[in-house]
Structures are given as structure tokens and as C-alpha cells.
């Protein structure tokens, strides 16, 4: 019986197990960076033209690549057929379980948002409430690779067991397993701040950067050496609970003077200055070259926060409210590249 169930589930989404070789991913990544001919892919990837032809044929028949017509590489010579990602070839869902709503986006193969939807969550919402919301917004289908979920930590990225801060009844919830059983799709769960920094790195080149998320709480997603840094227990980035003021205001974590508590107790320019001081510490500690600000608090008055951080390469996210759900979807989609 379990065997039959596994086969049925398997057939409902794209069989990508055969497309996850290193060379397949290299070809997809090169095509994502710009429409290319088979010859230029071979040169860039260090593969033989024959090998590239085989890989491309397989990716086209899987519906992930398509030919765009003829281009001339460097003027003279025979025109070559160029390739691009087939946007509709596969899609992924991303969800953000926030304090008061579940926001879901559907991404095409190029990472663009095809649709977005949101359902409110009642105060003290339970895990079954979240599963109901996801089931209402996610439509499993043939080309759906899976669902990524971003949620507050702490959590374990490897097994998808979550115990988000400040949510009563949410201790040790196996969210990944519960969502997979409910939706019949592969699910991956990560911290909201981690998927947020992943989304920023998808749009532009970043190596050593922090995504500062200022919502109900305050956290960072860290990109170090081009990779998301999760730490030994998926706990990295609890930036909001670093002490910035001895004997400062009481924090939800039970200690005093955390950045989160000091920031929340301040208003306007003073709040921006508190965040700027804390971000300055982070930049010095990790030698970061890019900072991206995000979250409802920042989006309400972005200029106030930007002005408080002169001398740093700081920007505000261009994703708006879709930042976390897009990043969660990219966690799934990114496995192809």
C-alpha cells in the first residue's frame, strides 16, 4: 500500500530526479543568465558540443528549455539557434506564514510571480489553520515542483520542524511533513529571513550581504561567500536579540536591551538610528558589502531608514510584500539551477 501511494504522488509532479545532474544544472544556469546558443554553452561550461546537444535535447523534451530562433554570434557566419528557459515548463509555490496572514505566490520557471494570493489568519491560529490556508491557495499539478514555506524561527531546516517565537501551541510542529501529507507535494521549510535573502540574491549579484527584516520582530538573513548562512542549528540571524543597551527595555525573549526591544520602544528617526547602529555592528563583524532593508516597518518609511545609514551600500527590497513568499518559492525552484 505505501508503495502504490508513493507512485501516485510521484506521478503528480514533474519527474526531475533525472534532471538534477551537475551538467543539467550548469546548462540551465547558463541559459538563465542570458539566451545562448549550444556552442556558447559548450564553451562556457567546458563541455563538448555533443554533450551539450544531448543535455539540451533532454531539457527541451522535459519542457524546461525552448528554442527562440536564430541569432548570429559575432556578426558573420552561420546563424545559430538560441535557447531560453520555457517559463511555463515548471512552476513552484512559495508561502509566507506571517503573524496574521498566509501569503502565497506561484512562480514560473524564470522565477517571475504568476499569481499571488493571501488569506488572513485569526489570532492564536493553529497548525491546522495554516494547512487549511495552504490547501486553499496551492493547486498541485503536473508541472508543480513543490512548495517552499517561510516562517519565523526557531526551526530546523533539515527536517522542517518549527517552533516559531511568540506563537502559542507551535512547539515542535512537523510543518514539512504535515504540509506534504495534506498537499501531496514536496515541501521545504526555512526561516523567513533566510528565504528573503535568497530572493534578493536571485535578482542581483551578491556575495557577502545581510537582508534586514523589520516586521513584528527583527531578524537578518545572511549571505556569506554567496551562500545562505544558516548556522549549526538553523539558528543564525537572530539579530534582533543581540544586546544593544544594558538594562534597556524588556524584550519578548525575556532579556533586556535587545535591538528588537530598543527599536520597538523608539519612534521615527530615533528608531532608524537604533537600527543603523545595530547594522553598523553587523557590517563590522562580518565585513559585509551590501545591506538590504525589508519588512513592514521599513516599507512604511523607507527614506527615514536609508538616511540613517550613510556610508553603507544600503537599499530597500524591490519585492515589497512578496519578498518572503518569492524567496520560499525560489528555494524549491533553485534546486534546478
Footprint on this chain of Zn ion (rule: CB under 5 A): 241, 251, 253, 258
CA angle, residues 263, 312, 226, in degrees to nearest 5: 100
**In this structure, how many other beta carbons lie within 10 angstroms of the beta carbon of residue 158?**
11
Residue 136 vs residues 164, 179, 190, 273, 299: alpha-carbon distances, Å: 22, 12, 21, 42, 28
Q: Do strands 218-224 and 227-228 pair parallel, antiparallel, or not at all (unpaired)?
A: antiparallel
Instruction: Give whichever of 241 and 263 is closer to Zn ion, judged by the CB atom.
Output: 241
Look-up of cell digits 531608514: 305
Instruction: Give whichever of 162 and 259 is closer to Zn ion, judged by the CB atom.
Output: 259
Instruction: Give whichever of 265 and 306 is closer to Zn ion, judged by the CB atom.
Output: 265
Instruction: Give whichever of 62 and 244 is closer to Zn ion, judged by the CB atom.
Output: 244
Q: Do strands 209-214 and 290-294 pair parallel, antiparallel, or not at all (unpaired)?
A: parallel
Instruction: Give whichever of 244 and 299 is closer to Zn ion, judged by the CB atom.
Output: 244
Nearest approach, Cβ of residue 252 and Zn ion (Å) = 6
Instruction: Give whichever of 13 and 241 is closer to Zn ion, judged by the CB atom.
Output: 241
Nearest approach, Cβ of residue 328 and Zn ion (Å) = 25
Nearest approach, Cβ of residue 246 and Zn ion (Å) = 13
Nearest approach, Cβ of residue 263 and Zn ion (Å) = 11
Q: Tell me the sheet residues that pair with 67.
A: 83
φ and ψ at residue 289, rounded to 5 degrees: -110, -5
Nearest approach, Cβ of residue 241 and Zn ion (Å) = 4
C-alpha cell at 80: 545559430
Nearest approach, Cβ of residue 224 and Zn ion (Å) = 23
Cβ neighbours for 133, distance < 8 A, ≥ 6 positions apart:
102, 119, 121
Nearest approach, Cβ of residue 251 and Zn ion (Å) = 3
Q: What is the DSSP letter of 159?
A: T
Instruction: Give whichever of 134 and 262 is closer to Zn ion, judged by the CB atom.
Output: 262
Cβ neighbours for 108, distance < 8 A, ≥ 6 positions apart:
87, 88, 90, 91, 114
Amino acid at each position: 500500500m505505501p508503495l502504490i501511494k508513493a507512485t501516485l504522488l510521484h506521478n503528480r509532479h514533474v519527474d526531475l530526479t533525472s534532471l538534477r545532474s551537475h551538467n543539467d544544472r550548469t546548462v540551465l544556469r547558463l541559459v538563465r543568465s542570458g539566451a545562448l546558443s549550444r556552442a556558447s554553452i559548450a564553451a562556457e561550461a567546458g563541455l563538448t558540443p555533443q554533450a551539450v546537444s544531448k543535455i539540451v535535447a533532454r531539457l527541451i523534451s522535459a519542457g524546461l528549455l525552448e528554442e527562440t530562433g536564430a541569432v548570429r554570434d559575432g556578426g558573420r557566419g552561420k546563424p545559430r539557434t538560441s535557447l531560453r528557459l520555457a517559463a511555463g515548463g515548471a512552476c513552484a509555490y512559495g508561502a509566507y506564514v506571517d503573524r496574521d496572514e498566509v501569503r502565497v505566490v506561484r512562480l514560473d520557471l524564470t522565477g517571475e510571480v504568476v499569481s499571488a494570493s493571501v488569506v488572513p489568519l485569526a489570532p492564536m491560529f493553529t497548525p491546522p489553520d495554516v494547512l487549511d490556508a495552504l490547501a486553499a491557495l496551492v493547486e498541485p499539478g503536473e508541472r508543480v515542483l513543490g512548495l517552499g514555506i517561510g516562517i519565523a524561527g526557531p526551526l530546523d531546516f533539515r527536517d522542517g520542524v518549527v517552533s516559531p517565537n511568540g506563537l502559542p501551541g507551535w512547539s515542535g510542529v512537523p510543518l514539512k511533513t504535515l504540509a506534504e501529507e495534506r498537499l501531496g507535494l514536496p515541501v521545504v521549510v526555512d526561516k523567513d529571513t533566510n528565504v528573503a535573502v535568497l530572493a534578493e540574491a536571485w535578482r542581483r549579484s551578491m556575495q557577502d550581504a545581510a537582508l534586514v527584516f523589520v516586521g513584528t520582530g527583527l531578524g537578518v538573513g545572511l549571505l556569506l561567500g554567496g551562500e545562505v548562512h544558516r548556522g549549526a542549528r538553523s539558528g543564525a540571524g537572530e539579530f534582533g536579540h543581540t544586546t544593544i543597551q544594558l538594562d534597556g527595555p524588556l524584550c519578548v525573549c525575556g532579556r533586556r536591551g535587545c535591538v528588537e526591544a530598543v527599536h520597538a520602544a523608539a519612534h521615527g528617526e530615533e528608531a532608524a538610528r537604533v537600527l543603523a547602529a545595530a547594522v553598523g555592528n553587523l557590517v563590522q563583524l562580518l565585513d559585509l558589502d551590501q545591506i538590504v532593508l525589508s519588512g513592514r516597518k521599513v516599507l512604511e518609511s523607507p527614506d527615514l531608514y536609508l538616511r540613517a545609514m550613510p556610508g553603507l551600500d544600503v537599499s530597500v527590497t524591490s519585492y515589497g510584500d512578496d519578498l518572503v513568499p518569492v524567496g520560499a518559492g525560489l528555494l524549491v525552484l533553485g534546486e534546478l539551477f
